[in-house]
Amino acid sequence: MSLFMVTLLCVTCTGCGMIRTYQRIGEAVLGAARPQPRHDDTLQEVFICDEGDNEVLIVNYTAVNNTDQEESSYSFDLDLSCSLNGTALETCYLGSNNPYAINNDVNVAPGSSATMQESYLLPAGTTSGTIHIQADSYTKNYKKTVTVMSEDRELSTLEKKVTQSAYTLGIQGAVLTDDGEGKNLLIVDFVFTNNSTEAASFGSALETNLFQDGIQLSSGYLPYNHPLNDDSTGSNNYTDIMPGNSLTVREVYELNNATSPVTVTSVDSISYNNAQIMSKTIALDSATAAADAIIATSPDTSSNFSFTVDAAIIGLSEYYNKPAVFMVGSFTNNSDKAMSFSSVVDVVANQGPYSLESSYISGTSTLNYNDIQPGATIPVIIGFELLDLTNGVTITATDSTHYAKQVLYNNTFTIDQLIETTKTYIDRYNILNGEITDGYQF
290/309 same-domain check: no
* Domain end residue (candidates: 252, 268, 295): 295
Residue 72: inside a domain: yes
Tens-place pLDDT, residues 269-300:
888 888 899 999 999 988 777 888 999 999 99
What pTM value is reported for the model?
Answer: 0.69
Residue 321: inside a domain: yes
The CA distances from residue 406 to 181, 258, 297, 311, 352, in Å, are 11, 20, 21, 22, 22
146/240 same-domain check: no
Average pLDDT over residues 146-169: 93
Confidence band for 374, pLDDT divided at 50, 70 and 90: very high
| Burial of 23 (C-beta count, 10 Å sphere; 0-12/13-18/19+) | exposed
Q: Which amino acid is at 75?
A: S
Rg (CA), the chain: 44
Q: What is the pLDDT of residue 114?
A: 93
| Burial of 95 (C-beta count, 10 Å sphere; 0-12/13-18/19+) | exposed
361/433 same-domain check: yes
Tens-place pLDDT, residues 244-266:
999 999 999 999 999 999 999 99
Residue 23: inside a domain: no
Q: What is the pLDDT of residue 113?
A: 94
* Domain count of the fold of the chain: 3
Residue 4: inside a domain: no
More confident site: 10 or 342: 342
The CA distances from residue 109 to 64, 69, 149, in Å, are 9, 7, 21
Residue 284: inside a domain: yes
- pLDDT of residue 317 exceeding 50: yes
267/143 same-domain check: no
57/140 same-domain check: yes
Average pLDDT, the chain: 88
246/367 same-domain check: no
- Which range (25-39, 82-96, 171-185, 375-389) has the least confidence? 25-39
Average pLDDT over residues 37-64: 93
106/211 same-domain check: no
E runs forming strands in 302-361: 305-316, 323-333, 345-351, 354-355, 358-359
153/174 same-domain check: no
Sheet containing 407-413: give its strands across.
Answer: 354-355, 345-351, 393-399, 407-413
Q: Which of 174, 186, 213, 192 is nearest to 269 (CA)?
A: 192
Residue 214: inside a domain: yes
Tens-place pLDDT, residues 409-436:
999 999 999 999 998 888 776 654 444 4
Residue 198: inside a domain: yes
The domain that holds 53 is classified in CATH as: 2.60.40.1240
* Domain end residue (candidates: 262, 295, 328): 295
Tens-place pLDDT, residues 19-48:
555 555 554 444 445 679 999 999 999 999
Q: What is the pLDDT of residue 83?
A: 97
Q: What is the pLDDT of residue 75?
A: 87
Cα separation, 77 vs 93, in Å, equals 12
Cα separation, 304 vs 327, in Å, equals 22
240/350 same-domain check: no
Cα separation, 195 vs 138, in Å, equals 49
291/315 same-domain check: no
Note down the domain range covering 151. 39-157
55/125 same-domain check: yes
Residue 14: inside a domain: no
Q: Which of 320, 317, 364 is nearest to 340 (CA)?
A: 364
181/110 same-domain check: no
- pLDDT of residue 396 exceeding 70: yes
